[in-house]
Amino acid sequence: MVRPGPALKAVVICLLLGGSAVGYVLQKNQLHELGQQITKREGILSKLRWDNKLRATQLANLQLPRRIEERVNEQKLGLVRAPAVQVIWLPEPAAERTNEIAPLVVLDEYWKP
């Protein structure tokens, strides 16, 4: 007569080993996919940062007084620079120094407004 104990034990061991192998392969595939996603998104972030620097440079160029005057003249808006006698320069107020210490506020790291 065939004893079912050893055969059952062999089947259980095979299932455990097979399940572990399948789980390992699935985890490795998921890690590989996540790595590809990270690489792709880092590339996108790099491009966006480059675009941001380019646009910041363009904005700084457009805000130059010389460039603004050129655009005003191109569009024939009729605007002119104010004469020096009409310009009033105000001194920058000095920052007040206080001996008071600002209260220390410690927020819980999990606190969200």
Determine which helix (DSSP H) or strand (DSSP E) holds 32, and give its type and residue range: helix 4-62
CA atoms in the 13 A half-sphere facing the CB of 98 = 3
DSSP code for 109: T
What is residue 34's predicted lDDT score, i.e. its pLDDT?
97
One DSSP character per residue, 35-94 reads: HHHHHHHHHHHHHHHHHHHHHHHHHHHHTSHHHHHHHHHHHT----PPPGGG--PPPPPP
- In the chain, domain spans: 8-75
Query: Could you read off the pLDDT of 34-67 as tens digits, one per residue?
Result: 999 999 999 999 999 999 999 999 999 999 989 9
| pTM, two decimal places | 0.53
